[in-house]
Amino acid sequence: MTVDQADDVAAPAAMGSGRSRRPAALHPWPDSPAAAPQGPNVPAPVPANVPVAVPGLAGRWPAPHAGTPRTARRVFPAEITAPRAAREFTQLTLDAWGVSEETGDVVVTVSELVTNALRHGMEGLPQPLPLCPIQLVLVGHPRRLVVSVTDPGGRAPEPVPSDPDRFFEGGRGLLVVGAISDAWGWARLATGGKAVWAAFDLRVSPPSPPEATRPDPTTAPDSPAR
């Protein structure tokens, strides 16, 4: 799986965004078929009266962007401390990158994705589990931040009704991820397991206008030349 060139998010308005309304190119995930999963294992639609997050971009990944982004990676054991460690790593990374906005939403998203990986990504796996089966990747561009969490499980991530008891350590799942990110998606990996990502647009502040030059009141004006 290549994540180091991810930047532009896929069309969020039509296929799974909580905020952005700007269309963009869709690219198939490098390690998976371009088509969304089909078959008996695909979850049935949720009734309209159930509060859920919009579906993610199945089998899709943010389109590549020119240039080399900043990348940070960390692996975590399948332990209850993983979400907290992921939050701390994310906040430290964003601080080091000088990201002063959206940090709260990014940290919450990372916590939810790692919690889901810990809760659902280990189901049905042979024991003992790998030493550190959860991987977190942060990819930063000046205008875009992408987070990705991989786990060895094959279960498709699906939005669920808002239920504070469903996930431990306060996890609120993909309902929150879909609401606070600009786009999110997931794909199965050719090497096994899956990855779930979320993207955040970073606001670019316009440059401040130059300050007008004002005379120094403590300096006497030059005498006119004679």
Over residues 85-93, the mean pLDDT reads 97
Give the residue among 58, 64, 41 at the shortest CA–CA distance from 141: 64
In a domain, 48, yes or no: no
Q: Residues near 6 by Cβ (< 8 Å), separated by ≥ 6?
A: 61, 62, 63, 64, 65, 69, 139, 146, 148, 197, 199
What is the CATH number for 26?
3.30.565.10
Model confidence at 216: pLDDT above 90? no
CA 109-112-116 angle, 5° bins: 140
Please report which confidence band the pLDDT of residue 205 belongs to, taking 50, 70 and 90 as the band edges. low
In a domain, 127, yes or no: no
Could you tell me if residue 101 is left (phi over 0), alpha (psi between -120 and 50 degrees) or otherwise beta?
beta
Over residues 200-225, the mean pLDDT reads 63
Number of domains in the chain: 1
In a domain, 220, yes or no: no
94 versus 154: the higher-pLDDT residue is 94
Residue with tokens 């994705």: 113
**3 state DSSP class of 48:** coil
Mean pLDDT of the chain: 69
Model confidence at 67: pLDDT above 50? yes
In a domain, 215, yes or no: no
In a domain, 206, yes or no: no
Distance CA 93, CA 74 (A): 11
61 versus 30: the higher-pLDDT residue is 61
Distances (CA, A) of 95 to 76, 102, 143, 152, 204: 21, 12, 16, 29, 17
Are 199 and 183 in contact by the 8 Å Cβ rule? The answer is: yes
Q: What share of the chain is helix, strand, coil (3-state, %, to 5)?
A: 20, 20, 60
Residue with tokens 């054991």: 77
In a domain, 69, yes or no: yes
205 CB burial (10 A radius; 0-12, 13-18, 19+) = exposed
6 versus 203: the higher-pLDDT residue is 203
Over residues 38-52, the mean pLDDT reads 37
Q: Residues 127-158: pLDDT tens digits?
A: 777 777 899 999 998 888 999 999 998 788 77
In a domain, 217, yes or no: no
Residue span of the structural domain in which 106 resides: 6-33+53-122+132-201
Model confidence at 187: pLDDT above 80? yes
Distance CA 72, CA 95 (A): 12
Peptide bond into 128 cis (omega under 30): yes
Over residues 46-60, the mean pLDDT reads 44
Q: Residues near 67 by Cβ (< 8 Å), separated by ≥ 6?
A: 141
Model confidence at 179: pLDDT above 50? yes
In a domain, 41, yes or no: no
The reported pLDDT for the residue numbered 203 is 74
Please report which confidence band the pLDDT of residue 87 belongs to, taking 50, 70 and 90 as the band edges. very high
Q: Residues 103-133: pLDDT tens digits?
A: 999 999 999 999 999 888 887 777 777 777 8
Model confidence at 42: pLDDT above 60? no
127 versus 36: the higher-pLDDT residue is 127
The reported pLDDT for the residue numbered 62 is 61
CA 167-174-200 angle, 5° bins: 130
The reported pLDDT for the residue numbered 127 is 72
Over residues 6-33, the mean pLDDT reads 38
